[in-house]
Amino acid sequence: MTPLWQQSAVSLARAVRNGELRAAEVATAFLARIAALDGTLHAFLGVDAERVLAEASALDQRADRSTLGPFAGVPIAWKDNLVRCGERATAGSRMLENFVAPYTATTLARLEQAGATLLGRTNLDEFGMGSTTENSAFGPTHNPWGESLVPGGSSGGSAAAVAADLCSLAVGSDTGGSIRQPAALCGIAGLKPTYGRTSRYGLIAYASSLDCVGACARYVEDLALWLDVCGGNDPNDATSRSDTPAGDAPTLAALQQRRDLRTLRIGMPWQLNGPGLEDEVAASMQSAVEVLRGLGAQVHECSLPAVSYAVPTYYLLAMAEASSNLARYDGVRYGLQRPGGGRIEAMIAASRSAGFGAEVKLRVLLGTFALSHGYQDQYYGQALRARELLRAEFAQAFEQFDLLLCPTSPAPAFPLGSHRDDPLAMYLCDALTVPASLAGLPALSQPCGATADGRPIGMQWMAPAQRDDLVLQAAHAFERHTSHHLRRARP
Amino acid sequence: MIDYTTVIGLEVHVQLATASKLFSPAPVASLGEPNTRVQLIDLGLPGVLPRPNAAAMVLAVRAALALDGAVQEVSRFARKNYFYPDLPKGYQISQFEEPFCRGGTVPIGAGRTCRLHRIHLEEDAGKLTHTDLGTLVDLNRAGVPLVEIVSEPDLRDPADAHTFLVQLREILRFAGVSDCDMELGSMRCDANISLMPKGAQQYGTKVEIKNLNSMKMVQRALEYEVRRQTAVLAAGGTIAAETRGWNDTKGETRPLRSKENAPDYRYFQDPDLPPLVLTDEFVARVRAELPELPEARRARYRQTFGLPDYDIGVLTQDRALGDWFEAVTAAGIEAKTAANWVMTGVLQTMRERALPLEALRITPQRLASLLRLVDAGTLTHGAAQQVFAWMLEHDGEPSQGVRELGLERLTDPLVLQPLVLQAIEALPKAVADVRAGIEKPFDALKGHVMRATRGRADPAIVDALLRAAIGTVGP
C-alpha cells in the first residue's frame, strides 16, 4: 500500500471521511516526517505539534464523519506571511519575530472550516521579497533535491515542504512568481489564481495589486480542490472578485471530466520561450510540447512584445507599493521597537533599521524613490502604463489561444549564495513569471522534466482571468500522461 | 500707499455622521475610553484590508448635492504617505487626483456665492496626548470618515470667510451630513490667504493658517493676517510661502513650517481599493432622499405660512426646530400662534436648560392639544402657560395637566361675582377713579380677580361683571 504521506490530499480526505484513516493518525505520520527531515531542510519556521494533534483529535471526535469537510484530516502548511489566530506570523522578518496574530486569514479560516489539519508555518524571503528564500531573517530553506541548492522563493519553505512530502499541500503567496518559481525548482505543482479570486485578507502585504494567495501540491487535482475551497468573494477584501463560480467543487469536477487536450489552442510566446533559457530547460519544453500535441492540443508560436518591459515594470510597481505597505512597521503598536532617545522619528528609524533586512530596505528605498515628487510619473506612472500595454497584449493573444505556455524559470535550482551580490541577475530570474502577475492572470507551474543531474524543470500555463479551470485542466491532462510529478527527492 | 485686495480660500474638514468608520466596522464615537472604538483594521495590523462603508458614501454624496457639486461617476482612493504615531498604517487613505466631487457653491450673503473647487473623502487620524510619562496614542478617531471641502479663492474679506462657514454648517446640518461642531472637532478649517495690489490679476504669495478651532478664530486670524501682510508689503518686504499657526490667547499667527520643507506625501492610488463608482441611479436615490435645505425652507415658510422674516430666521436656524414647528401646525394650529409658542416656550426652555429639542418632554402634538384648549376657550392664555410648564416636567397630555393644576377656565358668574365684589371692596380708590372716568385703574380691579382665580377666570366675563358692579360702561 502507498504510504499515506505519498497520497493525494483528495484521497487522504476521502479515507478520513470514510473512517479508514483517523486525522490524528495522518497528523502523526507527517509530524514524524517533519521531525526526521526538516532539520536539514528548514522548510518550517514553526510547528506547534501539540496544537496540531489536539485539533486532529478533535476532528476525530466528531460523531458523523460524513459531515466532515473536503479537506478532512489533510495536513496543510502555510507560508508564514498568512496570519492564524494565536500563532506567530513573522513574514520571515525580525520586525515581526514575536508578533502573534489576533485573527485568522480568510484562506486559513476556509481550510479550517474544510477540516484541514493546519500543520505549521513555512519559511519565506522576508515579506515575500526574494526568489531563493535566502532573504529569510531566520536562515535559508534548502532544496530537497540538493542541500546546497536554493528551493526558489519566496514561498521556498512551502515548496520544499511539499516536495519532501512533509505536508500534502502548502499555501503560499505569489506576487511575481513566488509560488510558481519555487514549485518549478522543487519539482511540484504551484498555482497562482486569478488576481482577486482568493482573498488577501490576512496575507501580510508585499505589493497589493499583485499579491495572490495560492498553493503548491504534488497533485494538480489537490490544487483544484484547494481553489474550490479557498476561492470566492470575501467581503473583507475589497479587491476580491464577485464573479467566481460557486457550487460544490466545480473546478475539481471539471478537471476530472477532461481526459485530453483536444480542441485546446495553446500559444507559446516566443519572447518567453527562447531567449535566455538554459539548454536543458529548452529541451524539456520541447519534449513537453510533443506530449501535448500527442494529446490533441494545437500548439503554435505567438508574440507578446511588451513582456520585454515586464521585469522593470513589475519591480517598479512592487517596490512602490511595498514602500507604502511596509510603513506600518514603525515600532509604535506592535513588532520590534528600538529606543530613539525620546524622539519619535528616531525611534521609528531605529526600529525599522533593526527590523528589516537588506533586501527589504533596498526595495523600500527604491519604491519610495519611484513614488517621489518629480519622479513619480517617470517611474511609477510609466510602469502603470506599461502594465496596461501588457494586459492589452495578453487580451489579444487570448483571442487566438485558450492557454499560453512557457517555462516557469529560465534555469533550474542554483546553488545557495550564487546570486547574492547581483540583485539584477536575481530579478531576471522572474522574467517568465511576472507577466501573468502584472496582468492578474491565473498561472500554474508543473514539473515537465529534469536536468541530467536530476534537478527539476517546470513549465507554466497561463489563461484568461477567471479561467483558472483551464490551467488546471491542461496541467491535469499533462500529469495523467507523464510521471515527472512522481519523482521524489526524499522517498 | 497701495491698496490691497485680500484673497481667501478655505479648506474645511467635516466629519460624516456615520455609525461606523470609513473603512472599518468600528463604531464612531467622540466619547469612550482611549482605544475602545478600535478594531483590527484601525490598528493597521499586518494583513488587514480596508472595507468601504456604504453609509459614508451616501452622506458624502448628500454633502456634494447639498452644495451643488458635480458628483463624479468614477473616483479613486489614494494613499497619502507619512510617518506619525497617530497614523497606524503609515499612510492616510484619501482622494487626490480623482476626488468624488468637483465644483459646488456656498452662499455668502447678499446674493453672492463662493465657488467650491472640490470635495473629497478621507479617513481621520488618531489623537496624541503628550504627558510627563510620554506620548499617548488614542486611535478611537483613526479611520473616522471625513469630507474635505476645498473652496476656490473667491473670498475677499475675513467676514465673508465667517459667513461661508456659518452657511456651510447650516446646509450640512440640514442635509444631515454632520453636526459640524468646530469646538468638538467635527468641523475643522484651515485658511489660505494672500494679498495683491487692487486691480492685479496675479495672486500674491499664499500663507496657510492652522489651529483654527472656531468660526470666530477663523475670522480673527484672517483679520490679523491681513494686517500683518499689509504691513510687511507696505514696508517693502515679501511674504514667505509658509504655514502659520493661530495663537488665540496672543491673538497672532506664528510660522509653523515653510513650504519648502513641506513633506512629499508620495500620493498614489490605493491598490487595496477598487475605484469608487457612484452610478447615476445611486446619486438619484440620494438626491430623492435629500432633506429640504435652509434656503428652500425659508421660501416655503414665507409662502405657505406668511410668517414675518424674524420668525422665519429663528425657526429655520435648525432643521429639527423647524420640523417641530411644522408638526404643531400640521396638528391644526395656526402658524403664527405655533411660531410664537415655539420661539418663546420651546426655544427659551432649550436655552435656559441647555437641552436639545429631543430631550424635552413636551411634543408638538401635546403643544397642539394645549393650544386647542385655549382656542376652545377652556383655558386662558395664562393657564396655558402653567400647563406648558407642567408638561415640561410630566409625561402627560395637557388635559391631565389642566386637571392636576385645577385650571379649567371659570365662566360661571355665580362663582365669579363674589370675587368681583371682593375686588371692589379691596380697591375703593380704583373704583372711585373708574367712576370718575379714569380708565387705567380698571386693569387693577380686573387683575385682582384674575389673581384670585390664578388666571382661570374668563377675562371677558370678569370685565362685564366688574363694569356692572361699578355701574359704568367700558371704554
pLDDT at A5 over 70: yes
Domain membership of residue A425 (yes or no) is no
| Partner A contacted by B40 (CB < 8 A) | yes
Q: Is A79 a catalytic residue?
A: yes
Using the beta-carbon criterion (under 8 Å), do A328 and B44 form an inter-chain contact? Answer: yes
Q: How confident is the model at residue B223 (pLDDT cuts 50, 70, 90)?
A: very high
What interface predicted TM-score (ipTM) does this complex get?
Answer: 0.96
Tens-digit pLDDT profile for residues B307-328:
999 999 899 988 889 999 999 9
Q: How confident is the model at residue B216 (pLDDT cuts 50, 70, 90)?
A: very high
**Upper half-sphere CA count for residue B382 (Cβ side, 13 Å):** 13
| Strands annotated E in B67-206 | 70-71, 74-75, 78-81, 91-94, 101-102, 105-107, 113-123, 127-131, 134-138, 145-151, 187-197
pLDDT at B377 over 80: no
* CB neighbourhood size of B364 (10 A): 21
Residue A431's identity, in one-letter code, is A
| Partner A contacted by B444 (CB < 8 A) | no
| Partner A contacted by B1 (CB < 8 A) | no
Domain membership of residue A235 (yes or no) is yes
Tens-digit pLDDT profile for residues B433-444:
988 888 888 999
| Nearest CA-CA distance, residue A327 and chain B, Å | 5
pLDDT at B265: 97
pTM of the model: 0.89
Chains A & B: contacts with CB separation below 8 Å: 100
Please state, rounded to an integer, the average pLDDT across all residues of chain B.
Answer: 92
Domain membership of residue A260 (yes or no) is yes
Tens-digit pLDDT profile for residues A438-458:
999 999 999 999 999 999 999
Which member of A208, A323, A376 has the closest CB to residue B271? A208
pLDDT at B110: 85
| Partner B contacted by A328 (CB < 8 A) | yes
Q: How confident is the model at residue B39 (pLDDT cuts 50, 70, 90)?
A: very high
Of A12-21, A34-43, A424-433, least confident by mean pLDDT is A424-433
- Helices B459-470 and B428-435, axial angle in degrees (round to 10): 80
pLDDT at B437: 85
pLDDT at B453 over 90: no
pLDDT at B472: 64
Q: Which fold has domain B413-470?
A: Arc Repressor Mutant, subunit A (1.10.10)
Of A86-100, B57-71, B103-117, B252-266, least confident by mean pLDDT is B252-266
Q: How confident is the model at residue B458 (pLDDT cuts 50, 70, 90)?
A: confident
CA distance A49 to A123: 17
Instruction: Pinpoint the alpha helices (H) of A267-377.
Output: 279-294, 310-325, 344-355, 358-371
Tens-digit pLDDT profile for residues B167-203:
999 999 999 999 999 999 999 999 999 999 999 999 9
Using the beta-carbon criterion (under 8 Å), do B85 and A344 form an inter-chain contact? Answer: yes
CA distance B295 to A319: 52
Tens-digit pLDDT profile for residues A248-287:
889 999 888 877 889 899 999 999 998 789 999 999 999 9
Nearest alpha-carbon partner for A51 in A84, A81, A7, A19: A84
What mean pLDDT comes out for the span B98-121? 96
pLDDT at B30: 67
According to DSSP, residue B176 is labeled: T
pLDDT at B249 over 60: yes
Q: Where are the domains of chain B?
A: 4-283, 292-405, 413-470
What mean pLDDT comes out for the span A210-218? 98
Instruction: Pinpoint the alpha helices (H) of A423-483.
Output: 423-428, 434-439, 468-480
Which member of B51, B91, B274 has the closest CB to residue A324? B91
Please state, rounded to an integer, the average pLDDT across all residues of chain A.
Answer: 96
pLDDT at B357: 86
Domain membership of residue A314 (yes or no) is no
Tens-digit pLDDT profile for residues A314-338:
999 999 999 999 999 999 999 999 9
Q: How confident is the model at residue B475 (pLDDT cuts 50, 70, 90)?
A: low
Please count the structural domains in chain A: 1
What mean pLDDT comes out for the span B209-215? 95
Q: How far is CA B126 from the centre of its chain?
A: 26
What mean pLDDT comes out for the span A202-215? 98
What element of type H or E holds B400?
helix B398-405
CA distance A5 to A33: 9
pLDDT at B105: 97
Q: What residue numbers bound the domain in which A237 lies?
A: 4-264+443-458+466-486
CA distance A155 to B399: 80
Domain membership of residue A221 (yes or no) is yes
CA distance A62 to B114: 70
Domain membership of residue A149 (yes or no) is yes
What mean pLDDT comes out for the span A128-156? 97
Using the beta-carbon criterion (under 8 Å), do B44 and A372 form an inter-chain contact? Answer: no
B16, B177 Cβ separation under 8 angstroms: yes
pLDDT at A67: 87
pLDDT at A423 over 80: no
Q: Is A136 a catalytic residue?
A: no
**Upper half-sphere CA count for residue B303 (Cβ side, 13 Å):** 6
Taking the CA atoms of residue A107, residue A113, residue A116 and residue A117 in that order, the dihedral angle to the nearest 10 degrees is 100
CATH code of the domain covering residue A118: 3.90.1300.10
Domain membership of residue A188 (yes or no) is yes
| Partner A contacted by B273 (CB < 8 A) | yes
Q: How confident is the model at residue A2 (pLDDT cuts 50, 70, 90)?
A: confident
Answer with the residue of higher pLDDT: A491 or A92: A92
Domain membership of residue A232 (yes or no) is yes
Residue among A178, A199, A323, A437 flagged as catalytic: A178
What mean pLDDT comes out for the span A101-113? 98
Q: Is A178 a catalytic residue?
A: yes
